[in-house]
Amino acid sequence: MVLVYRLKDLSGSNNVWEQIPKTIYLNNGNELDYDFDFTKNDVQIYIGGTYDVTTTPIYYNNQKFRIVLVPADIVNKGAQAPVDYSDYNAVIKYFKINDSKVTKY
C-alpha cells in the first residue's frame, strides 16, 4: 500500500505531515487538490484546483513529501486497520520505520 504525506507545517521542532489526497479550501472560495497515482515502478504527485493553480506557486514550489510503502495484506484482511494511516508518525512507529534514513530526491 502506498501512503503519501505532505509537509504542512512546523510545530516547534516537529514536522506536521498531512496525508494526501487532500483538498485545501482557500479563503477566496477556491479549492486546491493534492493527489497522487502510482505503479509498481513510481509514484506521481500532482496538484489541481478550481482555478489556475500556477497563480499560487506557494502551493507547489518547495513542497516536501514522504512516501511510505506498507504491507497491504493488513488492510485486506477485512479487520479494522491496526493504525491510523492518516497519521504519519503513528504509521512509522507502528511499522518501525526509521525516518532518519529518508531517501531524498
Between CA 5 and CA 86 the distance in angstroms is 8
Quote the pLDDT of residue 72. Answer: 78
Quote the pLDDT of residue 75. Answer: 61
CB 85 within 8 A of CB 20: no
The domain ranges of the chain are 2-101
Quote the pLDDT of residue 25. Answer: 97
Q: Per the confidence metrics, is the pTM higher than 0.85?
A: yes
Write out the chain's pLDDT in tens, 105 residues. Answer: 999 999 999 887 889 999 999 999 999 999 999 999 999 999 999 999 999 999 999 999 999 999 999 887 766 565 677 889 999 999 999 999 998 888 777
